[in-house]
Structure 1
Amino acid sequence: MWEQRVEIKGPYHFELALDRLANDPLNHVDIPERTVKVPIYEPEPEVAIVKAVGTVEEPVFIISGRHAETKANVIKQIYHIFQWNIGLHAISDHFYQTSLKSIFETHRGTPIVQDFSLYSCLVKCIVHQQLNMKFAQTLTERFVHTFGFEMDGVWFYPSPEKTAELTVEVLRGLQFSQRKAEYLIGLSQLIASGEIRLTELAEKTDEDILNTLVKVRGVGPWTVQNFLLFGLGRANLFPKADIGIQNAIKKLFQLDAKPTHDEMDDFSREWEPYLSYASLYLWRSIETKD
């Protein structure tokens, strides 16, 4: 076993990050212990443990793992997943001068936490399309529990190679729709064959990624925006078609009806270049009783 102490610049509210992670039943989160177990997919599967030992204003973490030879890689991935290289202080200061001041004060230091792998992010995006959250999570759990694997109490998504070999009928047995099963298998086949290389795609611009992925059957702009935000951590994404964001804006600004896209454009101009954080905090504002 190895351990590494990490100090970052505050604010960084790890408990609020864990609270969001705990919404996904596949995540291994212990909020009282301020701990999360993270599946590391590359180069070989292993589990890292991240524990907070500091405060919101002075964040300190202990990362631990089993294999000393992969320590550097694990730490690099943890930094990316939890966005420890992003200074939230400057972002908070920006929003304190905008119409989102109140929710940024309430949820101060909430980071954008990335999905644990690019492939699992795309899988979730496809599964969650046009489903309510509860059933989408149930369907994702069934998929992972049936075709993925467990290590140290943590579930790993199956590889794209394994999913590519599945049949539509098998996924239909888990209550996937015909089309959703076809979409998931088709995407996985493109990744498994190397036609789509996610690590290379991650180096491209938002526009290039959009143009590449929307050519895939079953992948539309909403899926790509979520992939850019929660897979790659791009800072300036604002999915206007998202019902949650529409509801949050309606509530915050006491509108009689959900905002139109033009109204959302008007509201969001002052939030740039951090629209992804505006999106996150708007979601957060309707996820809690605050």
Structure 2
Amino acid sequence: MPWPRTLCWDADGPSRGRISDLWGRGTGVGMRYVVIGAGAVGGAVGGGGWPRPATRSCSWRAVRSTRHCGTGGLRLGTPEGARTHRLPVVDRPEALDLTADDVLVLAVKTQDSAAALDAWSVRPVAGGGTVGERLPLICAQNGVESERLALRRFCRVYGMCVWLPATFVRPGEVSAAGIDPVGREEQAAVRAGRIRFEPFDGSPRGGGSSWQSLSRGTGTIEADFLNGEIVLLGRLHGIPTPVNEVLRRTANAFARERREAGSMTVADLIALVDAEGP
């Protein structure tokens, strides 16, 4: 399979020393975040500057594709407008020299996690040891399975809660909607009117991560690690989970056959669940 698109950037400012001290790693001189998988979430996180970007490098495929369009770099669209970040290219793990001050952020789909983890965990780190032995890994993904996969290969793994309505538009371009922040004391009174999706630049958001996988015709989907997680728990505890089993099986069939997102009616889906039985 092609290598996942990768971004990396250096963090500056007060946060770097504090985070280095917290994790007990590196020299504390400066941290570089390596985002593995610059799709919707990875591209928005990298392009949006978490915590604050100084330099970045993006994937071979994304940068090469946008260069063909005459633009180059990573284009990030937000309600405040679009910005293009001109990025150097990293085309494979071997192209990046890793140090003790690097932090890896895994942002691939769960079905691609094992291959990415295998590729990165064995890379050497300056001063000795491997990435899996010495560097922290943050999982910025759907579901909960990737943390377990990562812990088989990495000593320090951190789960990350991603609340980010991002969309992969095309290689080298992502969009990220947003909401205005609300103070804690205001939430109860104003939440219903403040949290909503707002289209920007005339491009309404179609759906979430799995919907985007079907719309892009990638051939794979995360259903085994979303609905499949419920199915697994049900089988471990002897509890039938017919709805999630049907959703898992149907989503995989849609992805495999490259069927269009939304092409099955709710009535047809309910009929499949009814046929499944308890």
TM-score range, shorter chain: under 0.3
Q: Counting strand residues as a fraction of each chain, which structure ranks higher?
A: 2
For normalisation by structure 2, the TM-score amounts to: 0.25
Q: Counting helix residues as a fraction of each chain, which structure ranks higher?
A: 1
Structure with larger Rg: 2
